[in-house]
Amino acid sequence: MRLNIGGLVPFTTIDYPGHLAAVVFLQGCSWRCAYCHNPHLIDVHKQGDDDAMLRRFLESRRGLLDGIVFSGGEPVLQSGLVDAIADIKTMGFKVALHTAGANPQRLRQYVSKPDLDWIGLDVKTAFANYAQGTGIEGSGDKVQESLKLVLDSGVDYEVRTTVDPNLFTKDSLFQLAHTLADLGVSHYALQECRAVDGYEMASSVALFDSGLIADISEMFANFTVRHS
């Protein structure tokens, strides 16, 4: 397994819904989102944990964990991930992937293989407004393409939106949910945005108004709200 690993959470019940899992954070991301909670993972460097550590950890967790979640950063940027997933599957673990959908060409190679068990796809804001959050023009088009890949793949998934009050109003949050439902999303989650150092964030309380949440929940067969 040739991976640039930036960190590991040995136990989680929320990053792969319905499963006991560990989260492996991979280095590298092409976006520069202002509220990023893992800015130390944006660049790829040689520091950090190595592949041998990950294998030792996995060997010690056989029979204790259901699966492994690859997160980041943007994990699909790492060329060794395809082989790593296949290897981990032979060890008896399920494999989940968190992605922001920035690289649909790379994502395609994962959703087209039987090794991947679940995908968590972040949709940060309305596709037309993506550059405001990511700093990259055309990033919304990439995410929309990735969303179609996920929906067409048959892989279990969850589409998630971290509700940054600097990017949303009640109307725009409702409209995004409506757009996603129209595109065929049936599993959707809203996540409260946590403040990070140096990022001035308005209050998000109004965006989780019970009436708005009730209206959004009616659009999806499976809907979740996660508070900080």
**Each residue's pLDDT tens digit, 43-94:** 677 655 567 888 899 999 999 999 999 998 899 988 889 989 999 999 999 9
Q: Is the pLDDT of residue 161 over 90?
A: yes
> What local confidence, expressed as pLDDT, does residue 91 receive?
93
> What local confidence, expressed as pLDDT, does residue 216 receive?
96
Helix locations, the chain, DSSP H: 51-60, 81-90, 104-111, 130-134, 139-153, 170-182, 210-217
How large is the average pLDDT for residues 169-185?
96
Given phi > 0 = left and psi -120 to 50 = alpha, else beta, which region is 44?
beta
Question: Could you tell me the strand order of the sheet in which 156-163 lies?
Answer: 5-12, 21-26, 67-71, 94-99, 118-122, 156-163, 187-192, 222-226
Domains of the chain (ranges plus CATH)?
5-226 (3.20.20.70)
- Return d(Cα 67, Cα 156) in angstroms, integer: 14
How large is the average pLDDT for residues 15-34?
87
- Return d(Cα 85, Cα 95) in angstroms, integer: 7
Residue owning tokens 């279990």: 156
> What local confidence, expressed as pLDDT, does residue 1 receive?
55
Q: What is the pTM of this model?
A: 0.90
> What local confidence, expressed as pLDDT, does residue 192 receive?
85
DSSP 113-126: STT--EEEEE--S-
| Band of pLDDT at residue 196, cut at 50, 70 and 90 | low
